[in-house]
Every structure is written in structure tokens, then in C-alpha cells.
A and B are shown apart, each in its own frame.
Chain A
């Protein structure tokens, strides 16, 4: 049952997943452009702060976010198109069907994650780092995996619901921003609330943490 489900999900997700995987492999390579060879400390410094490297850092979480979203949305796309009639006529409990789907997406997420991890290793191996700097390809891979998992879980939960449910969620989120933030700000809590979301240990910290492949 699981294998055909994986195949079905692959059929739906392959078109966004392939370019995402290529990007995931290429991004670490791009981030070390100019660092290779004998460029000296000044060259390395210039390369580390080149526009490409600066732009490159936020691209990792964005790519992770997109990967999760693409996998989750393609997961339910065909079922929504058929008004879920097919899924509901199959002889398995709804939770079991949802778990099979989620599991299939989780396995497919390993493709771009592996691509990024490999790209990070290739990129690390292609530069000679001076003393004091290190490459963190495994850490980058794990961070990407966690960010994809978080994004996938959020979007999967939303995509599994009806359009009406999603409108409620989006409306509630917008209302919270429009009404909640000014109220919190008036009490001086707005910064604290936002900090709670992004701070180390917060629910979205994985997106805002350190994405550097080369660091001290």
C-alpha cells in the first residue's frame, strides 16, 4: 500500500522536486564561489562577503520552505481535484490514508535534502580553508532537513483541510497580526512575541539560525 502511495506522490511532485533538488545541490557550490584556490585571507574575506554569498544565506531557508510547501501541496492536489471521492471509497481509515500520504512526502523530502548534503560536501571539499575556518556540511544538511520537515508539516496540515478551513486559518493569522500586534505593541510586548517565535529554541528558529556552510 505504501509503495503505490509513494509512486503516486512522486508522479505529482516530480516536476517541482527535480528543479528544487538541482537548486539544493547547486546552492552550496555557489556559496563557495571565489573561495577556492590560493586567494589569501583578503580574497577569502572578499568572497565571504560577496553579493552571492550574502544573498545565498537566506536562500537556504527559502528553499527549505518551498520544498515543504511543494511536497505538501502536491500531496493533496489530485484528491482535491476529485473531491476526495476516490480516497473516501478506499478501504482504509482516513487517518491511515493521511499518514500514508504524509509518510510518502517525508520520504520524497529526502531527495532535495540529500542533494543539498551532497552539494555541501562537494563544496566543502572544493575549497582550502585557512586555519580558524571550518566547513559544516552535515550541520547544514540537518538544518535543511529540519526546516523542510517543519514547512512540510505546516503545509500538509493546511493542504489536507478544505478551502474553507484554510480561509479560516489564514483569516485568523491575518487578524492576529492586524489586531494582536498593535495591542501587544501598546503594552510593549510586540518585540517579545516576535522574539519568542524566532529566538533559539522557538518554533521557527530553524529558519532564522545559522545557515553558513563555512564558519569559524
Chain B
């Protein structure tokens, strides 16, 4: 397995989670896959919404970004970039990933995937994993991990505020 770059950031409140999404947004492109891990209420959807809104705003668009829990997948068009926001919580078998068309999207779109554990080993090796967990107080901590070749420069930019 390729060497991984990793970065841990404190997220003291919901605004901090949203800011991280907005800062990461312009650093991403086609075929980037973000795996969003964490318990219910950890801020996964909040992060994804901020990222998608920033990407839409960059091309002068504003849309509702609803939770994908019921629809499983919401797609957005940010200029030439297609963005997929998937929530796999309700899936029961990895082969359902194929029915969703997610594997094709991994190559052609920017994909944000909540509850990626549902797809077992179908996640691409190049994905950036974001693990949200509670801190000692009322905030959260996120750890970003991904193959160095793609993600080291991105994480370096995030680390430098």
C-alpha cells in the first residue's frame, strides 16, 4: 500500500466544520473521492454541504443541498465538474453500489461518500478518508488520511491555515 499523508484538525464548532469543507472544495476535482466516516451527528453531512455549496458558489450557483439519507445519492453540477453526494447508510450489500452507479462516478465525478464502510473494499485506493469524532468537550476532531502522491500537497495547504 502507498505511503499515506495524514492530518488531524480540531473542529471546535459547526462553523469550523463548514469552513474546512469550503477550504477543501477548490482543491478537489474529477475522480477525487472523499470517504466521510463518523457516527450520526458527527458533522459528515454538514461538512459535505459546505463543500458542495462552496463549489457551486464558485460557478455562481446556489442550490439546496438536502441530506442524501433517503435518496441515497444527490448529484450537482458545478460548472464542468459533476459532484456526487452519497449516503450508503441504508445499503445492506456491497453489490448495491453497482446499482447506484457509484463505481463509474468514482472515475468521472467528485464523490463525497458517507458511511463508506457499507461498500467494503470497493472504495478506490486513491480516496481521502475523513474520520470525524467527538473531542473531549462539545466540538469534534477530524483526521484526514490519503495516499501521499495525491493528498500530501492538499493536506499541507489545509495545515497552513
- Do A and B come from the same complex? no
Interface of A with B (CB < 8 Å)? none
